[in-house]
Each structure stands twice: as structure tokens, then as C-alpha cells.
Amino acid sequence: MGWGTSENLCTVNAGAQSERDGAAAAGEALEGSDRTPGHGTMAPVTVSPGAVREERRVVTALFADLVGSTALGERLDPEDLKLVVSDAVARMVTSVEAFGGIVKDLAGDGVLALFGAPLAHEDDPERAIRAGLRIVSEIEEFAREVDRGWGIEGFGVRVGIETGPVVVGAMGAGDRVEYAALGDAVNTAARLQSHAAPGTVLVGEETHRLAKPMFGWDAPVSLELKGKAQPVTARTVSAVLGPGPTTRSRGFEGAQAQLIGRERELATGRGALNAVRAGSGGILYLGGEPGIGKTRLLSELRSTFDSDGASHGRLSWIEGRCVSYGESLPCWPFRDLLRTWLGAAIDEPQLRLRVALRRNVERLFGGRSGEIEPYLGQLLGLTLEPEAAARLAELSPEALQYRTFEVVRTLLGRLADRARPRVLAREGGRRPRSPAPLERDLA
């Protein structure tokens, strides 16, 4: 193993390739069905008899139900009602599928979605909560359209989420055979939805335990749910927390064991950090199966870097996190890097983010800030000033992408030119066959 510039890339493999858990096989078994879950799914998800084997799974179930649709039905013509409810349900379905869930059932103005079956991800509880929050946001926006169009207030949505073991497989007979999931988690999610306040996401205890570091939470409440022998503890999601070490916790909460058996990988990484401090850039790839210890190894390297910074000064670590549902979030790692540079949380108000971006860009580029800021602003999803927005609208998608990465390259180059060693860490991405042009130039 060696370390160097882009011509001599160092690779640290944290473990041997292992066999997948069969989730992909479950998805393939559904490809011959009438609809494949997770790809434009509509309820019911029908399958061919015998196409899907019965199995136990841990899934996160999401129930979302519209509020105020009954009042709409009293005041609107059936065609108008169908238009409003269909549009709202379409927004909920799109939000679920954006985070890799499948829509199991549509029941009038309600949606049942599954995360973890037939395809599982290590962050299914997080995906479900993010999908629930997006549903709330989408319906809040749509409710304002309903108010403007028909003068009807009180339209909204409630979301309930819980995680637990279920049995999935085909259910039914004759021409009506569906992909079903049966278990207490599904029932509990439905009951939680009915207790959620309009415009909120109410989460069960198991989902909260699995996704706790990623979100802010209201105080727990004890609920008497229909059909449940014991009270159920639930929490309302209050915020999405920004990226950082606290959002990447693994294993048992509060436990930190000594890292054993990774001396060679640590030595390689520390060698790369020493090269950075000496002024030599490069790219270090850390690869391995999920759960093999990549996040822990990166955390150890950052601890080393931070401790060296305390003794030597002027060292900077900027980290961006790839997310497994990032297919629906263009350029997410670079957005995350920019937010880390600006010290902004993921739910930072847009006005504060715009002010932070302008100040930092002006500090680095002075009179050239007007050439740089619009591209970084659109990368962060900010609303641009009319003149800047019109200038970017004249570019083709290809030209806009090229120019945006040129600006990112310029920004990172300027940061490196300020005589301050920096490490740009991107966690969670797949290793490409060759470095991306931006990565190659930065090295």
C-alpha cells in the first residue's frame, strides 16, 4: 500500500467481500409481478402466486393519513375532491419512493409504506422518518394551494412510524394475491398515526432508538393504543440534526471499545495525514463491507488529525456524508461539505444560510464573490437573487453542472492556498473505477 497524488492512489480495504443477505434476491423475485415495489408502486402490490417466499423481516412501517378530507368532501364537487385527494396522495407516494420505501396500500386518503421489505437498507428507520417529514412538508405546501383555490383551511396530514419484526410474503387467492406484511409494528404505526397531531410525525420507541442521533425529539408521551395491552411510548420528531460525528453513532450507545486489528490501516491513514501536513495532497480510499468498521476507522483518523491540530494549529477537517438514499438528492456530498465549511445545520433557515455563504465567499474572493456565490447558492438549494437566477437560467444543464464544479474546485483550491492544511472527507460513497475529475484535480 502506498500514498501519493492522484497518479498513485492509496486504497485501504477494511475487510473481505461477503455475501449479501438476500435482499436483492427478494427484489428480483418481484420483478415478474404486476408491479415492482419501490419503482412507481401503487397499491395493492400484486404478485404472482409463489413468486415471493415467506420470510421474517425487520421493517419500518409508515402510516400517513390526510386530515380534513371529509370536510372537503362536503364542500367540493366529487371531481374537484378527487383532484385534490389524488394530488395529495401522489405527493405522499413520491416522498416515500424518494427514500427507497414501497407503498404497500392506498386506503382512500391514507398510505401504508414499508421500509426494509422486500429490499433492506441499514438506515431504513432514518429513511422512513425523512420520508414522513417530507410528506408533512409537501402537504403543508399543498394545503396553502387548497386554501387559495377553494378557501378551505385545516387540510393536512398525520404520520405514524414504528419498527419491528414482521412476516412478509404473498397473501390472498385467485386473482387477488398481494405482497403483505403482518406484525405488531404495522399495527402500532397505524395507531400512532391516529394519535399524531396534524402536521407532525409521531414515532414509536424502537424507531426512536434506531434513529435517535439523526433527529431532534419532543418529550416522550405514553399512549393507550387500541388493541395494545400496555401503554406505548412515542415521540414527535421536532428537527433534523446536522451532519457530524454524533450522527454516525454505531453499536451500543455510550460504549467505546479500543480499535483492534487495524494497525496497518491506521498507519496508512496517519501517513496520509502526515503528508497533508507536509504540503503533499492525495486521495485515500477506504473500502469494505457495511459494518466492517469504516466509520470507526475514519473517526480514529479524525481524532488523530484534531489532536495534531491542537498541538500544531491551523489544521482543518471538512467532512461530507454520502447518504444511501442520495439518488434523489443531487450532489449531496458536496452540499454537505459546503454546510460543514459554513458551520450550518441541515435545517438551517435559508436566510441565515445565505448570509453565512455571502460573508464567507466575500472573505475569500473579495470582488469576485459575485461570480462564485450564485453557483454555490444553487448547489445548496437556496433562492437566488433575480439577476443571478436569470444568469444561471441561460446555461444548459451540462454547462451549469460544469461551471458549478469549476466553482467548487476554485473554492477548495482557495481554501488550500491559505497555508492551512485541510482534509476533505467524504463518507459513505462507493469507490469509483477511477477518481472523478474534481477529485483528481484537488489531489
Can you give the residue ranges of every domain in the chain?
10-17+260-442, 31-241
How far is residue 427's CA from residue 322's CA, in Å, rounded to a whole number? 6
Average pLDDT over residues 264-288: 85
Number of neighbours of residue 278 by Cβ within 10 angstroms:
8
Please tell me which residue, 207 or 283, carries the higher pLDDT value: 207
Q: Considering the entire predicted model, what is its pTM?
A: 0.68
Mean pLDDT check: name the lowest of 89-103, 193-207, 220-234, 427-441.
427-441
Q: Please, which residues have CB within 8 angstroms of residue 102's CB and are 6 or more apart in sequence?
A: 37, 38, 41, 45, 96, 113, 114, 117, 118
Is residue 195's pLDDT more than 60? yes
Tell me the three-class secondary structure of 31-52, residue by residue.
Answer: CCCCCCCCCCCCCCCECCCCCC
What is the reported pLDDT for 45? 52
Please tell me which residue, 51 or 405, carries the higher pLDDT value: 405
Instruction: Looking at mean pLDDT, say which of 79-93, 405-419, 429-443 comes out highest.
Output: 79-93
Mean pLDDT check: name the lowest of 19-33, 50-64, 140-154, 254-268.
19-33
The 10s digit of each residue's pLDDT in 296-345 is 888 888 888 877 764 555 567 887 776 666 655 567 778 888 888 888 87
Task: For residue 23, count CB atoms less than 10 angstroms from its CB and return exposed for 0-12, middle for 13-18, buried for 19 or more.
Answer: middle
Average pLDDT over residues 247-265: 68
What is the reported pLDDT for 235? 97
What is the reported pLDDT for 424? 75
Q: How confident is the model at residue 87 (pLDDT cuts 50, 70, 90)?
A: very high
Helix (H), strand (E) counts: the chain: 14, 13
How far is residue 440's CA from residue 108's CA, in Å, rounded to a whole number? 52
What is the reported pLDDT for 318? 81
Looking at every residue in the chain, the average pLDDT score rounds to 80
Query: Per CATH, which fold does 31-241 belong to?
Result: Alpha-Beta Plaits (3.30.70)
What is the reported pLDDT for 314? 59
What is the reported pLDDT for 19? 36
What is the reported pLDDT for 12? 58
Do the bridges between strand 232-240 and strand 221-223 make them parallel or antiparallel, or are there none, so unpaired? antiparallel
Instruction: Looking at mean pLDDT, say which of 9-23, 106-120, 127-141, 171-185 comes out highest.
Output: 127-141
On whether the CB atoms of residues 101 and 127 are closer than 8 A, the answer is: yes
What is the reported pLDDT for 9? 45
Is residue 267's pLDDT more than 70? yes
Is residue 397's pLDDT more than 60? yes
Instruction: Looking at mean pLDDT, say which of 11-20, 100-109, 251-260, 273-282 comes out highest.
Output: 100-109
How far is residue 368's CA from residue 331's CA, in Å, rounded to a whole number? 24
What is the reported pLDDT for 327? 58
Is residue 33's pLDDT more than 80? no
